Structure 1
Amino acid sequence: MINRKILIHSIVFSPDGVSTAYLYNDIALGFKKNGYEVVVLTTTPHYNIVKEDSAKQPLCPKLMGLFYESSFNEIRVIHVPLKKYKSTTLRILSFIYWHLFSFFIGLSINKIDFILSPSPPLSIGFVSILIAKIKKAKIVYNVQEIYPDLLINQGGLKSKLIINILKWLEKFVYNNSNAIITIDQLFYNQIKDRLKNLQKLNIIPNFVDTELYKPETKVTLPPVFTDDKSKLKLLYAGNIGFFQDWEPVFYAAKKLLNTNIEFWIIGEGVRKEYLMNRVNEEKLSNIKILPYQNRSLMPAINSFADIHFISISKEMEQEGFPSKVYTIMACAKPMIILTGENTPLFNFLSGKNCSILISDNRNDSFVESIISLASDKNKQFELGQNGYNEIQNFYTKEKVIEQYLDLFEKI
């Protein structure tokens, strides 16, 4: 039995209901299953609070609420408060408090062998490195999104001073970590010149829980999911934000308004109100927008849809990889993907024959692909089955967590 302790230092973890939290929940359980002692240092739930999950994992206040503790499948989880205040000043102060208090709590944890921290934010890597240096632990930084590139390309970051500070911080984190993980070859290529020692850089993909996400499920969906066999349902479920390109969706909905094809959009995000207003203004009755659904329902929702679609903004397509791709493939469903060539998502799916990839002439190509795939049930099945086989062969949580464990042993 391995007697080593891993501190997972993440801005989200259970009971927060967001994809990075679910990913790290499974990673923590995988480490525990393989004999490691796991402690998690995170925030109080703030990103996507799921009442059912919060009830199962109550937070117990410590030191009059300066921090909290909970238990996730017998894993100790320490929560330092972080809140989404409307005031920018209060948000910044809460963010600083979380970093400072996390640092001191990290120092109070006995004997840490490894620290694993996912981005974003970059600053979490900085704090983890300080803890690791003092505790004589090894630090592994997992690049899920590339910062500050993402902020710059979004157009929200203009200050040269702040950009230079973040670029310095990025290089500091990369070069003072014992190992860096990227999730694909393009991310690897994008940041490799920012490291002094390229041997630190590793590619470990994300994964899917194939015990949860699978083609057949007996979960009963809420009444809103009326399974009208006369309708062909295209689904997007996830964050509704600036990462997505919504114009091809509106264009296709207009073109297909008087057909049996429906567009289902499920989730929350900063662009949701914009989407709802556009649907109402343009009277697009074939677009249905629903709120976030509990993760336990997602396998059944994935199966409810005939075809899944993901449309990524041209400005953002190099900066991230939507993890929902894995869950769709695990449920054996076909996809129509709008993203540029030589992007993380395009390169991942290219050659796997589980999706239709659209990189040019997005609007008309999207409509044509929908019509073509909608009328070909055999093609739908073939694409879905190919995706399912790919997941089973390479992207189960067991196979990927083994790569994490091999990396820890190597360093």
Structure 2
Amino acid sequence: LRGPAPDLVLCMTDPPIVGDLGVAIGRRFGIPVLVISQDVFPEIATELDRLRNPAVVGVLGGLVGAYLRRADRIVAIGETMRDLLEAKGAPPDRLRVIPNWVDTRAITPQPRDNEWAGTHDLVSPFVVMHSGNVGHAQDLDSLVRAATFLRDRDDLRIVIAGFGARHAEMVTLADTLEVDDTVRFLPYQKRERLPLSLSSADIHVVGLAKGLAGYVVPSRLYGILSAGRPVIAAAEDESETARLVRDVGCGVVIPPGRPELLARTIRAAADGEYDLEEMGRRGRDYVEEEADRVVAMERYRALVRELLAA
């Protein structure tokens, strides 16, 4: 606070107190404050049952509401999140929507029968993949349980590539349900291997636990679409994920927490009831036009120029 005055304060929303500190610094130097909201506290923690103390919930809600009312601009990463932030006190004229992005030159569509698929014996079977965090928000119970309805499909594999707080629990669940022949667990893939690993799936599952619509937007969706692969979005209809998949036509939307319905959708995809290639093409076209890093950076540059000119 004793150094030279910056031109702009830019802060994220995790932990929640960061936004209030950003606003305090902005007021100290008389400069604009830009908050980028990747998730919404404390609701995301309460919906996942990770935070139960009402006093703590109240304090966090007050902290978040304070910076939402005082920041000069707030970026939401989706329209549903924008509505939630406005309901929490953010002035509508200060809210902007800039979706997350992907480097479409780094993640490009690769042949389905690529070297990575061959190494992991995934060339022949129909492959359903979750790639990313194995945590509380992804509703992976439903994906593992869906395998119990697909025992007759020796030609199908479910691949969970990643790690996280619930990884051990999901491995145990697959073993307990005796579906460990169908469900395979692989580690996080290095960034340079993602084009190959993502392209090794016939279809991806992007799950979002019930109650999280608008509070979080799975960024892994953009990488999947950049690889030209279709998705099953197991998410509430009002979520940004469901809206995007439905509007773009890059996959199928089903409710979360329905393993039997997820299994039926996987079976339909494996049986050729969807044009998976066309869905993948639509997704790739979308990210090139709307969610490429270059596009997003220009939107942020325009927003910063707007703030500095005010």
Q: Is the 8 A contact 1:243 1:317 kept in 2?
A: no
Distance 2:82 2:11 in 1: 17
Deviation for aligned residue 1:176: 2.1
SS for the counterpart of 1:351 is helix
Question: Which string of whole-angstrom CA distances, capped at 9 and with x for unpartnered residues, describes residues 275-316 of structure 1?
Answer: 111122222111101122211111110111111112221133
- Which residue does 1:183 correspond to in 2? 77
Given that residues 240 and 267 in structure 1 are in contact (C-alpha distance below 8 angstroms), is that contact kept between their aligned partners in structure 2?
A: yes
Q: Scaled by the length of structure 2, what TM-score is found?
A: 0.91
Question: Gaps spanning 5+ residues in structure 1: where?
Answer: 1-106
Amino acid at match of 2:97: I
- Counterpart among 131, 142, 146 of residue 252 in structure 1: 146
What do the CA deviations read for 1:199-227 (whole angstroms, capped 9, x no partner)?
11111111111111111389953975234
Matched, 1:410 2:306: yes
Which residues of 2 match residues 314-353 of structure 1 at below 5 A? 314-353=210-249
Tell which deviates more after alignment, 200-209 or 158-167: 158-167
Aligned to 2:232, the other structure's residue is in SS state: strand
Q: TM-score, normalised by structure 1?
A: 0.69
Per the alignment, in what secondary structure is the counterpart of residue 309 of structure 1? Answer: strand
Matched, 1:369 2:265: yes
Post-superposition Cα deviations, 1:43-92, rounded to whole Å, max 9, x if no partner, equal xxxxxxxxxxxxxxxxxxxxxxxxxxxxxxxxxxxxxxxxxxxxxxxxxx
Distance 1:360 1:129, change over 3 A: closer
* Matched-pair contact (CA < 8 Å) for 2:208–2:234: yes
Tell me how far apart the structure 2 counterparts of residues 158 and 125 of structure 1 sit (CA, whole Å): 22
CA RMSD of aligned residues (A): 2.2
Structure 2 counterpart of 1:208, one-letter code: V
Q: Is the 8 A contact 2:38 2:76 kept in 1?
A: yes
Determine the structure 2 residue equivalent to 1:212: 106
Rounded to whole Å, the distance in 2 between the matches of 1:378 and 1:199 is: 41
CA distance in 2, matches of 1:365, 1:131: 50
Is the Cα contact below 8 Å between 2:82 and 2:95 reproduced in 1? Answer: yes
Q: How does 1:51-70 map to 2 (within 5 A)?
A: none
Cα distance, 1:384 vs structure 2: 0.3
Task: Give CA deviations for 1:352-379 in whole Å, capped at 9, x if unaligned.
Answer: 1110111278233212211221122971
State the Cα deviation string for residues 303-350 of structure 1 (Å, max 9, x = none).
Answer: 111111122211334421101111111111011111111112112222
**Which whole-Å CA distance do the structure 1 matches of 2:55 and 2:171 have between them?**
37
2:161 partner letter: I
| Letter in structure 2 aligned against 1:129 | V
CA distance in 2, matches of 1:333, 1:163: 39
**Would you say the 8 A contact 1:122–1:173 is kept in 2?**
no
Equivalent pairs counted in the alignment come to 304
Q: Is contact 1:265–1:288 with CA below 8 Å preserved after alignment?
A: yes
How far apart are the structure 2 equivalents of 1:169 and 1:181? 17
* Counterpart mapping for 1:289-328 below 5 A: 289-328=185-224
Contact 2:213 2:236 (8 Å CA) reproduced: yes
TM-fit CA distance, 1:164: 1.7
Matching residue within 8, 22, 30 for 1:136: 30
1:115 deviation in Å?
Answer: 2.0
In 1, Cα distance between equivalents of 2:295 and 2:214: 26
Q: How does 1:15-94 map to 2 (within 5 A)?
A: none
Q: 2:51 aligns with which of 137, 142, 157?
A: 157
Structure with larger RCO (C-alpha < 8 A, sep 6+) = 2
Question: Counterpart amino acid of 1:177?
Answer: A
Tell me the residue number matched to 1:62: none
1:225 to 90, 108, 120: 120
Q: Does 1:271 align with 2:144?
A: no
Q: Which residue of 2 aligns with 1:74?
A: none
- Name which of structure 1's ranges 141-150 and 242-251 shifts more when overlaid on structure 2: 242-251
For structure 2, the residue ranges without an aligned partner over 5 or more in a row are: none
CA distance in 2, matches of 1:278, 1:359: 21
Counterpart in 2 of 1:23?
none
Partner of 1:134: helix, strand, or coil? helix
- Runs of 4+ more than 6 Å apart: none
Instruction: Provide the C-alpha distance between the structure 1 equivalents of 2:70 and 2:234, rounded to a whole number of angstroms.
Output: 37
Cα offset for 1:156? 2.5
Distance, in Å, in 2 between the alignment partners of 1:265 and 1:162 is 34
One-letter amino acid matched to 1:257 = R
Q: Deviations over 1:239-287 (max 9, x none)?
A: 1111122333233211222321100001111110111111222221111
CA displacement 1:91-138 (0-9 Å, x = unmatched): xxxxxxxxxxxxxxxx36544111221222211112222222333332
The equivalent residue for 2:288 is: 392
